[in-house]
Structure 1
């Protein structure tokens, strides 16, 4: 048996160790210790980190910067919160100010993650985040003053008034003393039936926001955050609960709005006709000095005046036309050509404007003079950026909606621009589109018994039971940006603002900087420096690029769907199986979210970040129930995101949100993880294994129910870990440890697979003498969680049990029989299960076991026949709706798990990869 010390270092690992050893100590800086305790994560050497380089996610600085918040990890033992409980950092001399706070802690109490908010305005190619003895405040800091009936936020020369209750989220905003916006509120339109084509006459009623609770979460000086909770109210009914956060940054003229709502209606009779955010804009300029702007395709902008002076039969003079096109006040009218000056009253005033994007590939732009008059077509295009402006030369409001065309059907409206008060509205669901229909896609269709449902499951892979395909309780989060401006922005400025809406500027730290801190378990930085690594890195890249391509090829867009991917490809139709039961929407099966986030951690690629971000926004909201009988659980893969009747904690899994949370400090995702803390108790109320054979051991009794280690406990434990990290509360550590150690105390340990679980203590009980193996037990993040937890929690019995399971799960049958007395079967997906072998090899420093890891991994179809399975092919002509590039027989299950195994194996036993690949004939 080879020893680990005899294995050569890969170039990536050698470079890492060299760079790590060159970093200076931090003993001179306040709150920083001069040494770090050891981590056991592979390939990491905990070292103090003095200066942290911040890069832009998109490499180049943005043309417009409205401020940003990001997370930074620290090696264990490096950074300690001072007694003052205040963290101070700078970006260097003459750089923007930074506001910093703790985000997570190591078990020894030192800081694991810190969050940092940077003021808007100035940018640079990169900055260095440095610990400081005191804060550097922005020249025009954000300030918050709290009163009984309102909260006043001041940012530069802009003042925002936030009521503590009532209809408005923001009552008013003044810029340089001028009232520029008022009455920001939420609106919803309910229809009592589907569209008239289906049922005939329908009626519509309007609802508006009713704020019931306001919480000030941060007060500046760089960033202030206010959370507002409430419902949509009207006609004696309160429904559609919402949670909205308002983010104010120093150096910015805007407020970022994160809007989350929960669908709590009855799908058969509550149809959402429209859902939006609206505000009023005082229009004080003459109508020829009032302007409307819409961001179009790319950097394109459409802009016109309420009363245009261009294109007239008579020429007013070039200076007047130039000023109006530029959004400036016209010169004194005395200089205007007399026929035009005398005839201004006869030029129509255009009061209403609408840009509707009802499909991802097309938008229309229309305008009319006023309500009751006909609309005329103004223009059209493919994909609008999602930003409007309404106002005049004296000031106005710009309102934008992120992921605009991706979330179609959406709409941007200006109403009454020719009156004293214009309305601007961002419709998250356009009222001119078909209604939002939350009904199930299918009926009972004869499946009225358990046996028939099981038969259907066998054919379509759909777990169906009437009444369990319910959308009530799911949620959706949208992001908006609202500017209060002192004048009409130029076309170029509006284009820059639209870019900020569509792709917000983000600051990040390099993959190597994250990796050296020992966070998120077993991974390393992407490195194709050896033939074996190049083989795997190329295969990983092919699959990532294909999924990015598939989202566009097959239009994985829409209000409820954007961010998800499909489950299995149908090569015969050259389509994904969008209409075939459990083969349709993926809903995080098998750990797709983790695959994307680990891919970003390794590469730093902006396109992967945004793909993963959209998935986190989707899977944490739409695929999970936030209220009702299924609260805390997600829905298994299906034709609709809520249609499958299997409700599982493996879908609501906090492990799928945790990486994004720490990278961004996103409060909404933090809320979603916190929602899951007591979801283990709901296992007694929701039978998540209804289509599986029952046994007496699985029956719930009092405070006990049989719980699987991987698919259930392993998913729920991620929420406890996140809460322990975020708060340092030992209750969650103890619950994690007790669960781990109780598994280790069972007779068959991890091979028991499942055991009675005590909700009150978090412990598994009973002898655990039966063997129960399922390949699914390791597919939903428990492998990643175990790797992390064993570096954080002292649980020797669990460590022994997990290492045993890792060594034997994919072992030869004779070894398994020697251990268990029989071959229990169930040990599927050997290639992806190889990462457990790799973990055992790394921990034991066992070269023979490391080589076995690669032999198991190389059984994958992805690497056979010269990688034929990963060779894209073009399909065109009459065989497809549009030309496409496909990977035949693509399966998200296989892709996600294979990729996670490749990532973990390279981190754990990468030193033996080339030797094993040569022996397998995969490289020369």
Structure 2
């Protein structure tokens, strides 16, 4: 069922109008939303659970809240109040500050079970108070012990074991938590060749206590996988998250590929725990979850279905997971040794649409089929009525091939393994998908680009340096959970509870360019725009499932373009396949979420942020930290660019969730311009050459500088970095000082300072791509944040002139810009200029540019055709005029115009 905002659209429109009444006056001031600071309402914020309803359980929650400039001092405290007026214990910290030192984004955490059953909350600014909480941390020389009040976790600082022991109320539940990696040296080609297999375990190099409670604690563990021959490779980062009162630990698992894709084929990647077991085999329980709350539950030694009946009480107790005490009936007890004990179980999800469960008595004996299903929620349990370990992988079937193993449950020490890449699947094959097809010269590569839109160059389509982050949880339980309880845990692992702020708050606070919201007067025509926005999101959401855009390396991304002849997305055609953030798909999803508050929009944007920030970016190696342009493989394109790795796409998730991994990714981009000395973005255009030892790099004022500006702005507001601030301000000043401002296009930038050298006076022009990868959004924020009239003038000139008539361009710029593309998408630039200049003519022009749809979407349509066999393999939905580029730009522009120039929508 479609999940809508907890606010109706009419309520949102009415609220936004009240918040921004008198906008033509306010909008001429930098950061107008910040002028709400000082009001009583600004010192408190309405919050709610994501999705609008309180969850059935919570293992702890962390979230971010934006504040208007000047509202919250750095030494302020916070108070969280539920709907019943009760205060909820909270831990708070600052994520970002305004230039005046006041808090721009605060982060907050509550413990397990806190805030329930309240569906809404109020966060208020108070005097700083000492935070309370149950988490206790003992940081020893060689290990760290964290006690949540329920579980005690002993974390190693060296060796293979990340988690040495895991206890509940001092009872040992699990131990020896270790990463496992299985490899082979050749793929499975079916040619009779036998691969050489190898096994690796984690080896810790560093442990950092990133947050020390008292409500939330975070431990970061880094290292590599090492085999018996001491080969160390595949760097990992594991983050362990603890909340007060929690019986669970959240695990964030990141690997970076640093092998040779021609000989390092991963055939198993996961995390393993030993689980001590005792007591009778018929009191040991195995559980797996399936689909729609389904649970597979068995005992290691089954007492049901026997020829001789142990009695209803025994059978019921075993099925329910309760302890069977006392002597069994003699007819069963004297023959127990003849009932097989099944010690090994496996749940294997090879595709997004099928899983199987198998079991066997022990190694050396055959497997038998136990169950089948479609989409497992990916959670298991091993233990006894006296306690055990529940474990699960988030996005289990979406990130196939995945696998859960239970081994040796019939012995005194069983084990569980959560496999992010399943050993039962084919090995991970990261080799480039073609042999180059003779493209051994620049001219041939240009021709290849002309036919398949693929930017190919030998050696560039390598996965070296790409990463993948997975998420899992372990639950330390006091007894075998009921089927209902385990199903509830599985649901939580897949959809962890989160708190967030009400829709108007981001605009009130003036974050993410939310300072310019005008009056929101409804009309039937504008309601059509809202409905079209909903239609496009809903269509892509369905396409993810219909087209099976799933898999370990793929989940979170969407495709670029559609093939109407084959009735498939162009998954195999060069640069038309995976989208890789092209034309700001990430931004479209995030702004759609911010405007609607829809939970399903948040989840889709979250998955895309995880994917594009990890898989589409090289994190180590010669291309780091650049990203790869759209391609059949996410890392396949030879165009390595800042516009893909841009921090601008990541900031939303970071500030909404305080996610540490995304924080790492953003920090890695602050010196990204250094790589432009050797990896020049425009190689297929001008064959430019870089200077690897130079102090300068060629940087465009569009996709390159927009990305750098996003990184520097974020680093400045997160950390107060003077280097980031100086680079940002210097770059803004020296762009404004160029002969033609933004129309100069590019210049040499001094890497240390961010200062651009003056470009030749004759250098003049515009690229249609410059302002479609986050540049407008970042410039909007910068103009609100920094008072620099020369920069604003240069940006407004670009905004006004890009789509201007040729005569107007000649009059203002001295010459025309020629035929430019993506006119519809650039209408939001025209609208921004209209707001800043209070120019009704420009506002009306912006609407005309948008509604005419040049180089975009001309016709509003929500029509869908459903095709089925034998025309297509599977039933598919097709919509007219759909391409991801066009939809992303249309969506961003529609939302911007509805915010900026709502009142100037043309009359019929």
Mark yes or no: TM-score above 0.5: yes
Alignment match, 2:843: 850
Matched, 1:731 2:731: no
Change in CA separation of 1:851 and 1:283 when aligned onto 2, cut-off 3 Å? same
Distance apart, 1:198 and its partner CA: 4.6
Alignment match, 1:33: none
Matched, 1:395 2:387: yes
Q: Which of the residues 80, 93, 113 maps onto 1:90?
A: 80
User: Contact 1:90–1:131 at 8 Å: present in 2 too?
Assistant: no
Q: Which of the residues 282, 292, 303 maps onto 2:297?
A: 303
Matched, 1:776 2:766: no
Alignment match, 1:366: 358
Distance apart, 1:700 and its partner CA: 8.5
What is the alpha-carbon distance in structure 1 between the residues aligned to residue 87 and residue 392 of structure 2?
28
User: Contact 1:511–1:525 at 8 Å: present in 2 too?
Assistant: no
Q: How does 1:97-176 map to 2 (within 5 A)?
A: 97-122=89-114, 123=116, 124-133=118-127, 135=129, 141-176=134-169
Change in CA separation of 1:39 and 1:772 when aligned onto 2, cut-off 3 Å? closer
SS at match of 2:346: strand
Distance apart, 1:254 and its partner CA: 0.7
Distance apart, 1:527 and its partner CA: 7.2
Q: Which of the residues 31, 53, 77 maps onto 1:40?
A: 31
Give CA-to-partner distance per residue, 1:386-416, whole Å, 9 cap, x none: 1010011111111110000000000000000
Give CA-to-partner distance per residue, 1:68-104, whole Å, 9 cap, x none: 100011111100012xxx7343335545421111111
Change in CA separation of 1:508 and 1:15 when aligned onto 2, cut-off 3 Å? closer
What is the alpha-carbon distance in structure 1 between the residues aligned to residue 758 and residue 821 of structure 2?
27
Distance apart, 1:906 and its partner CA: 1.2
What is the alpha-carbon distance in structure 1 between the residues aligned to residue 696 and residue 91 of structure 2?
46
Alignment match, 1:922: none
SS at match of 2:666: helix
Give CA-to-partner distance per residue, 1:185-220, whole Å, 9 cap, x none: 100001111015156111110000001100001111
Alignment match, 1:615: 608
Q: Which of the residues 680, 685, 697 maps onto 2:678?
A: 685
Q: Which of the residues 195, 200, 203 maps onto 2:193?
A: 200
Alignment match, 2:288: 294
What is the alpha-carbon distance in structure 1 between the residues aligned to residue 309 and residue 424 of structure 2?
38
Give CA-to-partner distance per residue, 1:493-528, whole Å, 9 cap, x none: 101100111111111111112221110004769978
SS at match of 2:616: coil
What is the alpha-carbon distance in structure 2 between the residues aligned to residue 609 and residue 862 of structure 1?
28
Q: How does 1:210-249 map to 2 (within 5 A)?
A: 210-234=203-227, 235-249=229-243
Q: Which 10-residue stretch deviates more, 512-521 or 361-370?
A: 512-521
What is the alpha-carbon distance in structure 2 between the residues aligned to residue 90 and residue 511 of structure 1?
18
What is the alpha-carbon distance in structure 1 between the residues aligned to residue 172 and residue 12 of structure 2?
58
Alignment match, 1:251: 245
User: Contact 2:521–2:903 at 8 Å: present in 1 too?
Assistant: no
Change in CA separation of 1:11 and 1:502 when aligned onto 2, cut-off 3 Å? closer
Give CA-to-partner distance per residue, 1:780-806, whole Å, 9 cap, x none: 101100000111123221111001111
User: Contact 1:168–1:184 at 8 Å: present in 2 too?
Assistant: yes
What is the alpha-carbon distance in structure 1 between the residues aligned to residue 594 and residue 32 of structure 2?
15
What is the alpha-carbon distance in structure 2 between the residues aligned to residue 604 and residue 199 of structure 1?
55
User: Contact 2:33–2:509 at 8 Å: present in 1 too?
Assistant: no
User: Contact 1:630–1:686 at 8 Å: present in 2 too?
Assistant: yes
Change in CA separation of 1:198 and 1:619 when aligned onto 2, cut-off 3 Å? farther
What is the alpha-carbon distance in structure 2 between the residues aligned to residue 600 and residue 278 of structure 1?
37
User: Contact 2:549–2:555 at 8 Å: present in 1 too?
Assistant: yes
- Runs of 4+ displaced beyond 4 Å: 10-14, 41-48, 92-95, 134-138, 522-528, 698-701, 861-866
Q: Which of the residues 625, 632, 639 maps onto 1:646?
A: 639
Q: Which of the residues 560, 573, 579 maps onto 2:553?
A: 560
Change in CA separation of 1:524 and 1:280 when aligned onto 2, cut-off 3 Å? farther
**Gaps in structure 2 of 5+ consecutive residues:** 1-9, 22-27
What is the alpha-carbon distance in structure 2 between the residues aligned to residue 266 and residue 528 of structure 1?
58
Distance apart, 1:135 and its partner CA: 4.6
Give CA-to-partner distance per residue, 1:555-605, whole Å, 9 cap, x none: 000000000000001111110000000000000001100000000000110
What is the alpha-carbon distance in structure 1 between the residues aligned to residue 66 and residue 695 of structure 2?
39
What is the alpha-carbon distance in structure 1 between the residues aligned to residue 787 and residue 836 of structure 2?
16
Distance apart, 1:828 and its partner CA: 1.4
Q: How does 1:280-429 map to 2 (within 5 A)?
A: 280-333=274-327, 336-429=328-421
Change in CA separation of 1:866 and 1:673 when aligned onto 2, cut-off 3 Å? closer
User: Contact 2:698–2:746 at 8 Å: present in 1 too?
Assistant: yes
What is the alpha-carbon distance in structure 1 between the residues aligned to residue 152 and residue 555 of structure 2?
35
SS at match of 1:717: helix
What is the alpha-carbon distance in structure 1 between the residues aligned to residue 266 and residue 694 of structure 2?
41
User: Contact 2:79–2:88 at 8 Å: present in 1 too?
Assistant: no
Alignment match, 2:712: 720
Matched, 1:504 2:528: no
Matched, 1:759 2:740: no
Distance apart, 1:685 and its partner CA: 1.3
Give the CA RMSD over aligned residues.
2.1
Change in CA separation of 1:905 and 1:752 when aligned onto 2, cut-off 3 Å? same
Q: Which 10-residue stretch deviates more, 888-897 or 833-842?
A: 888-897
Give CA-to-partner distance per residue, 1:740-764, whole Å, 9 cap, x none: 1101101111111111221122111
SS at match of 1:878: coil
TM-score where L is the length of structure 1 = 0.93
Distance apart, 1:896 and its partner CA: 0.5
Aligned length: 884
Change in CA separation of 1:858 and 1:431 when aligned onto 2, cut-off 3 Å? same
User: Contact 2:12–2:503 at 8 Å: present in 1 too?
Assistant: no
Distance apart, 1:17 and its partner CA: 5.2
Alignment match, 1:79: 72
What is the alpha-carbon distance in structure 2 between the residues aligned to residue 580 and residue 373 of structure 1?
46
What is the alpha-carbon distance in structure 2 between the residues aligned to residue 313 and residue 175 of structure 1?
39
Give CA-to-partner distance per residue, 1:1-40, whole Å, 9 cap, x none: xxxxxxxxx996663353689xxxxxxxxxxxxxxx9753
TM-score where L is the length of structure 2 = 0.94
Alignment match, 1:599: 592
Give CA-to-partner distance per residue, 1:314-369, whole Å, 9 cap, x none: 11111111111111101312xx3220122222110000000000000000000000
User: Contact 2:823–2:856 at 8 Å: present in 1 too?
Assistant: no
Change in CA separation of 1:340 and 1:883 when aligned onto 2, cut-off 3 Å? same
User: Contact 2:43–2:72 at 8 Å: present in 1 too?
Assistant: no
SS at match of 1:542: helix
What is the alpha-carbon distance in structure 1 between the residues aligned to residue 186 and residue 334 of structure 2?
52
What is the alpha-carbon distance in structure 1 between the residues aligned to residue 858 and residue 640 of structure 2?
39
What is the alpha-carbon distance in structure 2 between the residues aligned to residue 263 and residue 725 of structure 1?
31
SS at match of 2:428: coil
Q: Which 10-residue stretch deviates more, 103-112 or 766-775?
A: 766-775
What is the alpha-carbon distance in structure 2 between the residues aligned to residue 863 and residue 727 of structure 1?
39
What is the alpha-carbon distance in structure 1 between the residues aligned to residue 521 and residue 547 of structure 2?
31
SS at match of 2:470: strand
Matched, 1:15 2:15: yes
Give CA-to-partner distance per residue, 1:631-660, whole Å, 9 cap, x none: 010000000001111100000000000011
Distance apart, 1:56 and its partner CA: 1.3
Distance apart, 1:705 and its partner CA: 3.0
What is the alpha-carbon distance in structure 1 between the residues aligned to residue 789 and residue 854 of structure 2?
37
SS at match of 1:803: helix
